[in-house]
Structure 1
Amino acid sequence: MGLLIYTLYGFAIFFFSGWIFIWLVHFLAIFNGKMKLHKKINVPAETPLPGVSIIKPLVGIDSNLFINLESFFLMNYPQFELLFCIHDDNDASIMFVKRLIDKYPNVDAKIFIGGSKIGINPKINNMKPGYDAAKYDLILISDSGIRMKEDTLLDMVTSMKEDVALVHQMPFTCDRKGFAATLEKVYFGTAHARIYLSADLVGVNCCTGMSALMRKHLLDEAGGLEAFARYLAEDFFFAKSLVDRGWKLRISSQPAWQNAAPLAVQSFQNRISRWAKLRFAMVPSTIILEPISECVFLGILASWSLNFLFQFDPFVVYLFHALLWFLLDYALLCIIQNGSLPFAKTEFVIAWCFREFTAVIVFLKALWDPEIKWRTGTYKLKWGGLAEEVKTKL
């Protein structure tokens, strides 16, 4: 009986400590968001700016692709090239790219079709010809769903200090209509942003590759794209390779403005599930830590531990926990949005509740089915992030 009591005390202290730690994560994210996001860029006119090679891997189209690609032709930056890497010559995105090249003949832009098979990662295979042809040492890898503002590239380049090897943008979304778009904005502005910003503040590798500016010669020193083609989460291993050699990572002042056409809720959850599978393979401890860090599940554990340790009413504790979590998430989302939210507060409440109550379902789905369906193939992950192709979609 004594052993059982000591065990329960141990669990109660562990859950209570984790609860306190998560509140620290909330406040660190809000602090870092206020400190780093949406800052004005002050660059003297005479300051020389390096050229940038922008690699755009494209597969397929959606209704927002043209305006997303056009935003790269309209950037206010003195010297850059656009390298469009397209999966095959039947891809519909070729038509959009050619129209834009004709519309903006003064922009240095090239098309590469077919890719090069250098590994398991289809994105790296797609980018390889453009990467080899890049004429500048700074390369920006930018996904097809990203929309740029006129000063986004300038913001990223000015963040690239002498001791920095990679500047990444925190994923966020443009304002779009529909519940799925609202759900995406709430997720990327709360749950995802909380971890991203707090990790960045304490120096943890949290880089995502949807929009990342890197020094090409440092990637070449590590073996070039070939060295990372065996991973699906190439962005994590790009950053890890640089950090391991003593270089620093920096987050850009502007978030990455995702602007792909809003998908169905199920498609969005499949995407989040795919990311969870990658995290499980790269950092196995997240299998245990991730679900108990979610609002709903952690609230239950905290209510029990506070009742066990201090005899607090668990119902009152849970209400306090959920309300404070909700308010801090709303504050963080407003910081990242940097303006009025494009939906009513009631819509935020609905999307936030839906996200929180389905988070464990998405987690269990990722754990139950470890295979990843991405682009044209299906992949099986191994511990450490290595991947092997299971089958190819014809």
Structure 2
Amino acid sequence: MSFSIYIYGFAIALFIFYCGNLLLHIFGITYGKIKLHKKPCLLPRESPLPSVSILKPLMGVDPNLSPNLETFFTMQYPSYELLFCIEDKEDPAVAVVNNLIDKYPKVNAHLYLGGSKVGVNPKINNLNAGYVHAKSDFVMISDSGIRMKEDTLLDMVQHMKDGIALVHQLPFTCDREGFAATFEKIYFGTYQARMYLTADLFGAICHTGMSSLIRRDVLEEVGGLQAFGCYLAEDFFLAKSISEAGWKSAVSSQPAWQNSGICDVTSFQLRLTRWAKLRVAMVPHLIILEPLSECMVLGCLASWAVNVLFQWDALPFYLVHILVWFLSDWIMLSVVQNGPLPFNKFNFVVGWLFREFTGPYLFACALFNPAIRWRERTFKLHWGGIAYETKSRIKS
């Protein structure tokens, strides 16, 4: 008798967890529809727009690097400076940056070479030289693969209301050809968007550092950029420190348009695995919660739960669950895309199934191989997120 009570209790917990995950779809779709793709206000302001220092960490050249960087030179914003940071003086990205600086002499742009050793995080080490020379009260950190629209910076600045110290963008991708590009767009426009938007709606930390705007004085208050060099997931700990200092963060209306010229399934899966390793080290309870939130796994557990609780047939419930999850993700992706998708419904079905079936496998790979490869470097993580490098390149 007591064993049956435990079975029923476990089934009730699973069913509640399942309903909670369904609510995430509703929250993500609704909030995304309200939040995303709003045009920034162009009406005259009582005070001038603040100047922004934009930090761009670069390493290597891909086919889209030059056109991506050029969008930063053509933004419609009254006052900003571009601070390009490259660790290796022989990096071919140096020539790309110099060509653009020559092409747009009226844009305030500078190149900083060599990097500096302030921690194990390669991105922070690369950025620090530019950061110490930044002149504006607002600092934007933007990864090399980001493509900007003319009004993106204006949109981000207008979200920097009183009490807000960090404005960041929902990660998404530009339209590109091939299955790998479809896979990336489906991941960022469904699973990632759902979690990201719901977290922002309820004030949880959801910051990714690929494109974010920060108040310089608040960043200095929490230790400056160098204070986060001991972490690989510097974006999470930066947002956490800002929150603990009493400031809020906000997601801007425009997604971050990732437009890397190198797009293949293997590289992206390695990227997903690396992110999973970081999440587990920072928030250990995700070891249980994250795989249970996957469509196929959760569907199996929920089907068993409803069979125990309501005597419903498990197989039809499971099939309906997959259909509902699939349609919800299609709607979520359409909301984030805000226009026609660059692939047909068949390609979406294939890409969606591939993501759903490989998600739990990639998470398992992250658990059983905790070492993190970042380009040619290897890192180990302690619980809590502090990292150390097994082999260092930059010398102090």
Q: Shorter-chain TM-score: what band? A: over 0.9
Question: Contact 1:376–1:392 at 8 Å: present in 2 too?
Answer: no
Measured after TM superposition, the shift of residue 375 of structure 1 is: 3.0
Question: Contact 2:32–2:335 at 8 Å: present in 1 too?
Answer: yes
Between the aligned partners of 1:220 and 1:37, the Cα distance in structure 2 is 30
Q: String of CA shifts for 1:189-221, please: whole Å, max 9, x gaps.
A: 001111001111000000000000001111111
Partner residue in 1 for 2:31: 32
Between the aligned partners of 2:100 and 2:33, the Cα distance in structure 1 is 37
Partner residue in 2 for 1:219: 219
Q: Secondary structure at the match of 1:105?
A: coil
Q: String of CA shifts for 1:199-245, please: whole Å, max 9, x gaps.
A: 11000000000000001111111111221110000011111111101
Between the aligned partners of 1:62 and 1:260, the Cα distance in structure 2 is 7
Between the aligned partners of 1:271 and 1:226, the Cα distance in structure 2 is 24
Measured after TM superposition, the shift of residue 266 of structure 1 is: 1.2
Letter in 2 for 1:258: Q
Matches within 5 A, 1:190-209: 190-209=190-209
Q: Secondary structure at the match of 1:250?
A: strand
Question: Contact 1:180–1:262 at 8 Å: present in 2 too?
Answer: no
Q: String of CA shifts for 1:116-143, please: whole Å, max 9, x gaps.
A: 1011111000000100000001000000
Measured after TM superposition, the shift of residue 4 of structure 1 is: 2.1
Between the aligned partners of 2:189 and 2:225, the Cα distance in structure 1 is 31
Between the aligned partners of 1:262 and 1:247, the Cα distance in structure 2 is 37
Partner residue in 2 for 1:290: 290
Q: Secondary structure at the match of 2:41?
A: coil
Between the aligned partners of 1:98 and 1:132, the Cα distance in structure 2 is 21
Letter in 1 for 2:11: A
Between the aligned partners of 1:159 and 1:199, the Cα distance in structure 2 is 17
Between the aligned partners of 1:278 and 1:43, the Cα distance in structure 2 is 40
Q: String of CA shifts for 1:32-55, please: whole Å, max 9, x gaps.
A: 101110001123235510000000
Q: Secondary structure at the match of 2:379?
A: strand
Q: Does 1:141 align with 2:138?
A: no
Q: TM-score, normalization: structure 1?
A: 0.98
Between the aligned partners of 1:374 and 1:40, the Cα distance in structure 2 is 36
Structure 1: gaps of 5 or more residues:
none
Partner residue in 1 for 2:161: 161
Q: Does 1:112 align with 2:124?
A: no
Letter in 2 for 1:40: K
Question: Contact 2:62–2:262 at 8 Å: present in 1 too?
Answer: no
Letter in 1 for 2:24: V
| Number of residue pairs aligned between Structure 1 and Structure 2 | 393
Q: Does 1:276 align with 2:276?
A: yes
Aligned-residue CA RMSD in angstroms? 1.1
Q: Secondary structure at the match of 1:119?
A: coil
Partner residue in 1 for 2:41: 42
Partner residue in 1 for 2:179: 179
Between the aligned partners of 2:6 and 2:266, the Cα distance in structure 1 is 40
Letter in 1 for 2:156: M
Partner residue in 1 for 2:321: 321
Q: Percent identity?
A: 58
Between the aligned partners of 1:264 and 1:375, the Cα distance in structure 2 is 15
Q: Secondary structure at the match of 2:76?
A: coil
Letter in 2 for 1:307: N
Q: Decide which moves more: 40-49 or 313-322.
A: 40-49
Partner residue in 1 for 2:152: 152
Between the aligned partners of 1:351 and 1:80, the Cα distance in structure 2 is 39
Q: Secondary structure at the match of 2:391?
A: strand
Q: Does 1:11 align with 2:6?
A: no
Structure 2: gaps of 5 or more residues:
none
Between the aligned partners of 2:300 and 2:213, the Cα distance in structure 1 is 41
Q: String of CA shifts for 1:99-118, please: whole Å, max 9, x gaps.
A: 00000000000000011101
Q: Secondary structure at the match of 1:253?
A: coil
Question: Contact 1:181–1:262 at 8 Å: present in 2 too?
Answer: no
Partner residue in 1 for 2:302: 302
Q: String of CA shifts for 1:10-35, please: whole Å, max 9, x gaps.
A: 21111101100001111000111011
Partner residue in 2 for 1:382: 382
Partner residue in 1 for 2:75: 75
Between the aligned partners of 2:163 and 2:223, the Cα distance in structure 1 is 21
Measured after TM superposition, the shift of residue 377 of structure 1 is: 1.4
Letter in 1 for 2:279: R
Measured after TM superposition, the shift of residue 393 of structure 1 is: 7.4
Question: Contact 2:63–2:262 at 8 Å: present in 1 too?
Answer: no
Change (3 A) 1:145 1:351: same
Question: Contact 2:222–2:245 at 8 Å: present in 1 too?
Answer: no
Between the aligned partners of 1:106 and 1:250, the Cα distance in structure 2 is 31
Letter in 1 for 2:124: I
Partner residue in 2 for 1:66: 66
Q: Secondary structure at the match of 1:141?
A: strand
Partner residue in 2 for 1:372: 372
Between the aligned partners of 1:77 and 1:329, the Cα distance in structure 2 is 35
Q: Secondary structure at the match of 1:257?
A: strand
Q: Decide which moves more: 264-273 or 49-58.
A: 264-273
Between the aligned partners of 1:97 and 1:243, the Cα distance in structure 2 is 35
Q: Does 1:248 align with 2:254?
A: no
Q: Secondary structure at the match of 2:346?
A: helix
Between the aligned partners of 1:263 and 1:35, the Cα distance in structure 2 is 31
